Amino acid sequence: MTVHSPTAPGVNALTASSSRARVGLALLGVTGLLDLTFLFALGDSDSPKPVVFIGAVAGLATLAGVANAWRGRRGGVFVVLGALVVDLVLDVPAYFLDAPGWVLAVVTATLALLVIGVALIAPSLRRPRAELAGS
């Protein structure tokens, strides 16, 4: 019987301290859940339906990327970062449009968690420095 490690051979594992990166990933997972709360806006006739659907897909992509990154796969972090860029582009206009108060509260919480989460996982994206041969 073979026992599999959580990180398969050849997979680029996260390199920063595990607890710091996991807290960042947890915060980014919460941003994915907050993106899904915008599905409640579908009941409002004034809500922009394409933005709501794209935001929900970005939230699902964030959650999937967090799940992969939690297992130590570096590619999951890049999926999360890509989904967060989409999320950022969709969220910022809410401040300039006539958005309801609950939307502004969710957008503000999402943006705050996004900044903190990315700051916590950023060190894990650095690759270790290569040693020169013969040094």
Residue corresponding to tokens 């409640």:
40
Check whether 66 has a pLDDT greater than 60.
Answer: yes
Helices 18-37 & 101-121 angle (0-180, nearest 10): 160
What amino acid is encoded at 130 in this protein? Answer: A
Question: What is the rounded CA–CA span in Å between residue 19 and residue 24?
Answer: 9
pLDDT value of residue 8: 44
Asked if the model's pLDDT at residue 125 lies above 80, the reply is no
Task: Over range 40-60, report the average pLDDT.
Answer: 88
C-beta atoms surrounding 105 within 10 Å? 12
Domain boundaries, the chain: 44-121
Give the pair of three-digit tokens for residue 110. 């999402």
pLDDT bin (cut points 50, 70, 90) of residue 113 is: very high
Residue 127: the pLDDT is 66
Q: How does DSSP classify residue 47? A: S
CA Rg, the chain, in Å? 18
Residue type at position 72: G
